[in-house]
Amino acid sequence: MASKRPASPVTIESLNPKVLKCEYAVRGEIVSVAQKLQQDLQANPGSLPFEEILYCNIGNPQSLGQKPITFFREVLALCDHPCLLGKKETCSLFSADSIKRALTILDQMPGRATGAYSHSQGIKGLRDTIAAGIEARDGFPADPNDLFLTDGASPGVHMMMQLLIRSENDGILCPIPQYPLYSASIALHGGTLVRYYLDEATGWGLEISELNKQLETARQKGITVRALVVINPGNPTGQVLAEENQRQIVDFCKKEGLVLLADEVYQENVYAPDKKFNSFKKICRSMGYGDKDIPLVSFQSVSKGYHGECGKRGGYMEVTGFSPEVRDQFYKMASVNLCSNISGQILASLVMSPPKVYLALSLGYASHGELVTQAYIQVGDESYDSYFSERDGILKSLARRAKTLEDAFNGLEGVTCNKAEGAMYLFPRIQLPKKAIKAAEEAKKAADAYYAIRLLKDTGVVVVPGSGFGQVPGTWHFRCTILPQEDKIPAIISQLTDFHKKFMDEYRD
């Protein structure tokens, strides 16, 4: 029997229902409203109660005025326009080590061309550099053949979901709150999101008992749980996992036969002095687990870190613990899209191998004839000092901004906010009055979305409602980045404070 042709070939009803199910709050309704307001402001300056839209909804530092790291951009410019390397003016415009690095990278590329497709996993020489960077970070070997360079971390996450999810009977354990890429990707690939809740009371702690409970419940429903997603440092929650906790997580995955999907894109963003980032690969290896013991995928991105090169869409995944046959399937998937963009690939290598410096001993003979250390001298790349000061400046400023905003949130009526130990976000909890919740229900919005839209319309500050990330039912949050430049922070805080007071006065029960 011939199937019927629809009157209009493409309607909402005739689209893939998995697409319809997918949600992505970070660029959802709130951003559409913000864009509309921005247009209004441009068309009629002074027509709104604020002068500019302050985008605190997304980890996009350079859009808010953060400057790129000079060394990275020098290398990118030279690789893209290698004619410069033959010009005498270039030595005065570029650092010696950026010139040297560009020459090295060009030698690693087919045709010395950033305009050529590379190996599907990324340029081998760049993967060598990244592997060396991982080794230096972890103290354990890394194999360039385990690396798949990607256009940011997102395509890698999609690829893993596509490989692992066969039907709605396959589940992926995800933290709640979570970065909505995970829920979106699981929905798009037709799997089941298996929620585990982070414990807000213990600073968004990840409890193994909770993992066990949710795994068991999912299995009882007939779900085959295939993987555990851990975001460390956390997004939107900002916690940095303790080493002991990471060991427990690894053992849980090993015992339960789960792939460990480790979102480690904020590995360079740690602000709490008593916290340190440990990659799950390092944890596994330090526990004596080798490549055969546990399937582990670590995602890294050039969009985050101190450099925040979001627009470059660079990143990689390090894939260990899979059989060669399964790896062949990863390779095939990477091949269908040919390769990730070469500037992003170069940047991923730079991020994992920035300018270096080391201390050398200057030796001499003392008056009594003995060989002694006369001085320590700093030896290294010409760019190191500027690189270090740029990086350090950004990270210290982010730490200050995180603390200032955290304190400000905690000073608001009915708001409690955990510390941002790392990442780029605060995720304060708001105790909303019943009257506000009712007003939101009437407006057919989640209560925190109602709050966020009101905040935007009153102040121009864009935050993402907690409901977009998931939260314990009945609790309300929003995610606010720590990324506006420091001179903007006081105004943001005062606007937020005024708004919050007004909102609470309006709705207080």
Which 80-139 residues touch its own copies, going by CB under 8 A? 80-81, 83-84, 87, 89-90, 92-93, 110-111, 113-120
- Nearer residue to its own copies within complex by CB, 206 or 346: 346
Report the C-alpha gap between 283 and 289 in whole angstroms: 9
Q: Closest separation between CB of residue 86 and its own copies, Å?
A: 11
Report the C-alpha gap between 488 and 357 in whole angstroms: 34
Q: Closest separation between CB of residue 11 and its own copies, Å?
A: 7
Q: Closest separation between CB of residue 128 and its own copies, Å?
A: 14
Question: 434 with 493: CB under 8 angstroms?
Answer: no
DSSP-H helix ranges across 165-308: 181-188, 208-220, 243-256, 280-286
Binding of its own copies by 201 (CB under 8 A): no
Strand pairing category for 192-197 and 371-380: unpaired
Binding of its own copies by 145 (CB under 8 A): no
Binding of its own copies by 395 (CB under 8 A): no
Q: Which of residues 222-241 bind its own copies (CB under 8 A)?
A: 222-224, 226
Residue 374 sits at φ, ψ, to 5 deg, of -90, -35
| Size of residue set near its own copies by CB under 8 A | 112
Return the residue of 34, 54, 56, 76 that touches its own copies, per CB under 8 A. Answer: 76
Q: Tokens for 173, please give them.
A: 């354990």
Judge residue 496's burial from the number of C-beta atoms within 10 Å of its C-beta, 0-12 exposed, 13-18 middle, 19 or more buried.
buried
Return the residue of 134, 142, 165, 284 that touches its own copies, per CB under 8 A. Answer: 165
Q: Which residue has the tokens 């602000």?
A: 271
Q: Closest separation between CB of residue 378 and its own copies, Å?
A: 25
Return the residue of 30, 37, 74, 281 that touches its own copies, per CB under 8 A. Answer: 74
Return the residue of 19, 96, 361, 366 that touches its own copies, per CB under 8 A. Answer: 19
Report the C-alpha gap between 453 and 446 in whole angstroms: 11
Return the residue of 214, 239, 303, 383 that touches its own copies, per CB under 8 A. Answer: 303
Binding of its own copies by 27 (CB under 8 A): yes
* Cα 187 to the center of its chain, rounded Å: 20
Q: Closest separation between CB of residue 262 and its own copies, Å?
A: 15
Residue type, 433: P
Q: Binding marks (x or -) toward its own copies, 240..279, rule CB under 8 A? A: ----------------xxxx--------------------
Q: Around Cβ 162, how many Cβ atoms within 10 Å?
A: 14
For residue 459, give Cα distances in angstroms to 147, 251, 455. 44, 47, 6
Give every CB contact of residue 70 below 8 A, 6+ residues apart in sequence: 95, 383, 386, 387, 390
Binding of its own copies by 70 (CB under 8 A): yes
Return the residue of 129, 185, 239, 383 that touches its own copies, per CB under 8 A. Answer: 185
Q: Which of residues 307-346 bind its own copies (CB under 8 A)?
A: 307-313, 322-323, 325-326, 329, 332-333, 335-344
Q: Which of residues 411-470 bind its own copies (CB under 8 A)?
A: none
Report the C-alpha gap between 219 and 422 in whole angstroms: 33
Strand pairing category for 54-55 and 461-462: parallel
Binding of its own copies by 367 (CB under 8 A): no
Binding of its own copies by 205 (CB under 8 A): no
Report the C-alpha gap between 131 and 145 in whole angstroms: 9
Return the residue of 36, 40, 63, 486 that touches its own copies, per CB under 8 A. Answer: 63
